[in-house]
Structure 1
Amino acid sequence: MLKFFFLFASLCLLGACNQTYQQNGHKTSDALTRVKALDYYKVNEPVENLDNDVPNPLSRDNKVFLPGRTFVYNYTYLKNNQPQTCVVTVDQSGKGGLIPWKLSPQPQYNELNHPVEQIRLRVCKTKAHTSLANEQTIIKYEYWNKKGRILIPLLTGVVEDSSQIFLHPPRGYAFLMTEFNPFPIIKFPLKLGKTWKNENHIPPSMVEELIKIDEVAVRTIQYTIDSKTLLKTTLGDLVCYKVIASSKGQINGQPKESKLHAFFNEEYGFVKLNYTNIDGSLLTFDLMDIIDDKLVSK
């Protein structure tokens, strides 16, 4: 079933982005390619991204991903032991069609460079306007810096029920690398030593701006609830279950492995995600804050 969710969510993500724009190798609309650099913080969300008046019954019993809740994450990206920042740049070729990005050790703020400092995961209050809501709770990833939100959020989903939480990670810009990594998953009931497996099938079009692959990349993923620990966070000292996961498979004929150490708290969800990417770089997401919004009336 989870194999279906991996593939289904990837296809839905592509479909949702196609309605307005797509990042990392996917075509933008003509309107967005004409957005001036200084307007990168003034782009209105498309109607497809907005809440409607139809409650999502799949969110009703959520304990972590509550409708209207926002999770605020900081990140660190180390490549060759050097800190990097993801920078959204402006296409100066005049051809349009892409929202380019780069990793930079010394990011600059100007009309051509928009560093990503923070990632916000917003849980939609309703079904929004996507068929993905028939299978999952709808979430949006927003990319922020001190000037505001960069362009528009990317729509995807999270599964939360009595048996598991299955979270799609941020995959915009340089964070597309997480597509090759183990997705954050926890299985209930929580028990040390519990193991499970999954597969992820990645089509070439999904990751073409990051890496060119010859065929669908099949990733075999192994998870283990390794230990229970007290983790110091900005939200306090939190009791967390540590999940260790590895993702293995061939990419263009070469074996590539990625890893995840995820720290899960029963109230706040995934408070820390430590990734080792397929290229050896290190990516960490740290939960800094949670903001709860009022639910829409039903």
Structure 2
Amino acid sequence: MKKKKFMNLKLTIFFLILAQIGFSQQYNSVIIESENIDSNNEIYKIGSVFVYDYEIIKDGQKCKLKTNNGMFARSEFELVPTESDSIGVQKIHLIVQPVSDSDRTNENQTQISYLQEPIFASLSSTGAVENDKNVWIHPIRKGFFNSLETAPFPFIKKPLKIGSEWTDQMQIGQGWGNELWGKWEGQLLLAYNYKITEKKTIKTEIGEIDCFVIESSAKSEIGTTKLTSYFSEKYGFVRLEYELLNELKVNMWLTDFKTDKEFNDTRTFFKTKEYIKQ
């Protein structure tokens, strides 16, 4: 009897998690291909690695993460000043691994995975879309980065043209909420607006990069969040500037880029804490 109750509890938790994730995949205007899902990618190719630095600005102070784990109610994190000697997450790595169609985290989307440097204790997988119609990326969502679910996702429609504007919407469950960036009950409807406002050259650690600038917003009953993203036709989204609720800000910027890499299998990765095959 106890075993049956335990199994029922596990199933209930499982379906609650599915519901939370399911309500985070509703961008209906994103054009997703049913074939050539990875092979036609020009930016987010299999074997690519994108390394981002980041900062979190809370109450005017620049911070990083000492700890950052879990999702939904299980998320745990601690912010520390950027000059602290106890930073546990220095940078964020986005990698594009090969995967069979049956093992994709999100159906018909390119599999991308996020890792946190320097510990590389876990690998969190989600999806991206890239084709001749649009490029759309699901941001990291571990720990503190649950907050990014309340903001517009990096998204650009083609042809790339200054003045192009589009809208979309998505519902997210209350499990993504937190006192720091906003809480709500039930489902929260986010209404998105995107506009390509200019093209400019920005300086990065890998050189000067020509980018299209996309100004976007997400309006909901709890307020408005914003994302200014900088998109390169070679490197993808090279800079992301988030304005969340409660005057919380998050900035991410590309610091390194690698292609044609082979990745360790899961067992080797967890044993060595190295994800690139040597």
Q: Find the counterpart in structure 1 of residue 38 from structure 2.
A: 59
What is aligned with 1:46?
A: none
Cα contact 1:231–1:239 (8 A) shared by 2: yes
Corresponding residue of 1:196: 166
Mapped to 2, the partners of 1:229 and 1:11 lie a distance apart of: 36
- Partners of 1:83 and 1:10 in 2: CA distance: 30
| Aligned partner (choices 178, 191, 203) of residue 232 of structure 1 | 203
Change (3 A) 1:77 1:206: closer
1:103 maps onto 2:79 in alignment: yes
Contact 1:124–1:139 (Cα < 8 Å) also in 2: yes
- d(CA) in 2 for partners of 1:183 and 1:224? 13
Partner SS, residue 112 of structure 2:
strand
Q: What are the ranges of 5 or more consecutive residues in structure 1 without an aligned counterpart?
A: 1-6, 15-55, 92-96
User: What is the CA distance between 1:166 and its match in structure 2?
Assistant: 0.7
Q: Please name the residue that 1:86 is paired with.
A: 65
Structural RMSD (CA): 2.8
Q: In structure 2, what is the Cα distance between the partners aligned to 1:90 and 1:168?
A: 18
Aligned to 1:31: none
* Corresponding residue to 1:166 among 132, 136, 144: 136
Residues 6-42 of structure 1 deviation map (CA, whole Å, 9 limit, x = unaligned): x99933999xxxxxxxxxxxxxxxxxxxxxxxxxxxx
Gaps in structure 2 of 5+ consecutive residues = 1-17, 26-34, 264-278
User: Any conservation in 2 of the 1:231–1:237 contact (CA below 8 Å)?
Assistant: yes
**What TM-score do you get using the length of structure 1 for normalisation?**
0.71
**Inter-partner Cα distance in structure 1 for 2:43 and 2:93:** 15
In the alignment, the residues of structure 2 paired with residue 216 and residue 239 of structure 1 have an alpha-carbon distance, to the nearest angstrom, of 38
Partner of 2:21: 10
The one-letter amino acid paired with 1:76 is E
Choose 205-214 or 119-128, whichever is displaced more: 205-214
* Structure 2 equivalent of residue 33 of structure 1: none
Deviation at 1:127, TM superposition (A): 2.8
Evaluate the alpha carbon distance shift between residue 154 and residue 283 of structure 1 in structure 2; reply closer, same or farther with a 3 A threshold. Answer: same
Partner letter of residue 232 of structure 1? K
What are the equivalent positions in structure 2 for 1:211-222 lying under 5 Å apart?
Answer: 212-222=183-193
- What's the CA shift for 1:57? 3.5
Shift in CA distance, 197/119, structure 1 to aligned 2, threshold 3 Å:
same
Identity %: 28
In the alignment, is residue 259 of structure 1 matched against residue 226 of structure 2?
yes
Q: Distance in 2 between matches of 1:66 and 1:133?
A: 17
Number of paired residues? 233
Could you say which residue in structure 2 is the equivalent of 1:94?
none
1:202-239 Cα deviation digits (max 9, x unpaired): 11124468654212011101000000101111121111
Give 1:269 shift: 0.4
Query: For residues 181 and 143 of structure 1, what CA distance do their matches in structure 2 show?
Result: 21
Are the structure 2 counterparts of residues 174 and 192 from structure 1 closer, same or farther at C-alpha, using a change threshold of 3 Å?
same
The amino acid across from 2:98 in the alignment is: K
CA distance in 1, matches of 2:156, 2:145: 21
Q: Is the 8 A contact 2:23 2:170 kept in 1?
A: no
CA separation in 2, counterparts of 1:200 and 1:99?
22
Q: Distance in 2 between matches of 1:90 and 1:187?
A: 32
Question: Residue in 2 aligned with 1:275?
Answer: 242
Stretch of structure 1 that moved more, 216-225 or 76-85: 76-85
